[in-house]
Amino acid sequence: MSDYVTQETFDKMRVELHRMKSIDRPAASKAIGEAREKGDLKENAEYDAAKEAQGMLEAKIKQLEGVISNAKIVDPGTLDISKVTILTKVTITNIATKKVVTYQIVGEKEADLKIGKISASSPIGKGLLGKVIGETAEVQTPNGVIKFKIENISI
């Protein structure tokens, strides 16, 4: 499954992958070598821990390579803001509580609720996608259906 990301996030992922391959991987190999020199491998907890850490690192590298290879870079300048789409900012009003919030709809890799970025695959994100200003979105959440009115859509 592809994940929509900005160029900035894509570049950060590539830098992280490069760091893992060029710094973390050699460090893991060195740790294994040092642990191996300490004697009997059957009773060497340090060796086992180093091998386990290396395995986890390799799994992270493989996962990040997959994300990068399937990423779709979206240019905010080409967005259609007549409706809620990936990377648009949407201001909504919770009809029940009258609370107004603004979220940016992003891919899973960029989602961070603390800074107002929600995943397009989250219940609220899914419920808002495709809606236009003035429309009401009914979102199924674990606490029941919540209705949001779309107040504004921007970049």
Q: Do both 134 and 82 map to the same domain?
A: yes
pLDDT at res. 43: 73
Q: Do both 52 and 80 map to the same domain?
A: no
* Average pLDDT in the chain: 88
What gap in Å lies between CA 30 and CA 59, rounded to an integer? 18
Please count the structural domains in the chain: 2
pLDDT at res. 64: 92
Using one digit for the tens of pLDDT, what is the confidence trace for 43-93?
778 888 888 999 999 999 999 999 899 888 887 777 788 999 888 999 999
pLDDT at res. 44: 75
The residue whose two tokens read 């091998």 is 51
pLDDT at res. 104: 92
pLDDT at res. 87: 86
pTM of the model: 0.67
Kindly tell me if the per-residue pLDDT of 1 is higher than 70: no
Q: Which helix (H) or strand (E) holds 154?
A: strand 144-154
pLDDT at res. 41: 64
Q: Do both 122 and 52 map to the same domain?
A: no
* Other Cβ atoms within 10 Å of 78 Cβ, number: 8
Kindly tell me if the per-residue pLDDT of 3 is higher than 80: no
Kindly tell me if the per-residue pLDDT of 154 is higher than 70: yes
Q: Do both 59 and 112 map to the same domain?
A: no
pLDDT at res. 155: 84
Using one digit for the tens of pLDDT, what is the confidence trace for 95-139?
999 999 999 998 887 888 999 999 988 999 999 999 999 999 999
Q: Do both 92 and 142 map to the same domain?
A: yes
Among 43, 73, 103, identify where a domain stops.
73
DSSP conformation letters of 83-107: S--TT-EEEEEETTT--EEEEEEE-
Q: Do both 24 and 47 map to the same domain?
A: yes
Domain assignment of residue 35, given as a range: 4-73
